[in-house]
Amino acid sequence: MAAVAALYGEFKQLGVEVLAVSTDSRFVHKIWQEQELSKMVSGGVPFPMLSDPGGKIGMVYGVYDEAAGVDIRGRFIIDPDFVIRAMEVLTPEVGRNPDELIRQIKAFQHVRATGEVTPSGWQPGQVTLKPGPDLVGRVWEVWKP
Amino acid sequence: MAELKDGCVKPARGPIVPAAPSSTPGAGAPLAQEVSKMIARVGQEAIDFEANAFIQGVGFQPVKLSDYKGKWIVLCFYPGDFTFV
């Protein structure tokens, strides 16, 4: 969570709102912020920390672990039309890679703005593809892994 | 900081799922819908919900996902406060 918070400036620049959700109460969120997060990241976690007691929200998003009673690590990119564009779900032992999250947001924003599509591993500035009859069988001419 | 008044227990609506057309004919009055399975899908509309939240500099406040409609949203679930990763 702190790693995501550390990139908050970049999220803001991209016009992205971040919402964090766990089964903890809002009271625990507050104390975690004060006791720990604010010492990891200057100013603490700047985005809303939501409470999902009973995991009802996690359930519909497919991240609620009933045995453990917690929402496992899952992140979803939702576009301005309120459509889910990407999801990534991990078991708790491995943290996320916020850089990949940022890359995916940039790619989805590019696609939305241009109608082009982005090949594997695309970074801003790299070649994109313009799908259409002319491109069939000729992707190799413009893009290689 | 405008700290809002807040009691010990404050229910929030949780998932706000549009009422699905009943598949069981003759089921009578629709039951309060208990959602117990994953319905989030890429390429589909996000499922709205309301949750109580703590917001730095604001305090305690209920938040609806749809409050952010029209913006790019990153929704991050995590196993718990004070965990290690």
Of B1, B78, B47, which is closest to residue A50 (Cα–Cα)? B78
Condensed to tens digits (0 to 9), the pLDDT of residues B12-64 reads 989 998 766 555 554 444 444 566 788 899 999 999 999 999 999 999 999 99
> Which H or E run includes A98?
helix A98-114
ipTM value, please give it: 0.91
Tokens 């229910």 appear where?
B11
What is chain A's percent helix, strand, coil content, to nearest 5?
A: 40, 20, 40
pLDDT above 70: percentage of residues in chain A? 100
Ramachandran angles phi, psi of A47, nearest 5°: -105, 160
What is the pLDDT at residue B31?
A: 47
- pLDDT of A141 higher than 70: yes
Task: Please report the domains of chain A, with CATH numbers, ordered by start residue.
Answer: 2-99 (3.40.30.10)
Which tokens belong to B42?
């890429």
Dihedral class, residue B57 (left if φ above 0, else alpha if ψ from -120 to 50, else beta)? left
Per CB-CB distance under 8 Å, the chain A contacts of B82 are: 28, 32, 36
Q: Based on the number of CB atoms within 10 Å of its own CB, is B5 exposed (0-12), middle (13-18) or buried (19 or more)? A: exposed
Nearest CB among B36, B54, B72 relative to A105 is that of: B72
Chain B residue numbers touching A18 (CB-CB < 8 A): 73-74, 76
Residue B55's pLDDT is what?
95
Task: Count CB-CB contacts under 10 A for residue B79.
Answer: 22
Question: Cβ distance A111 to A79 under 8 Å?
Answer: no
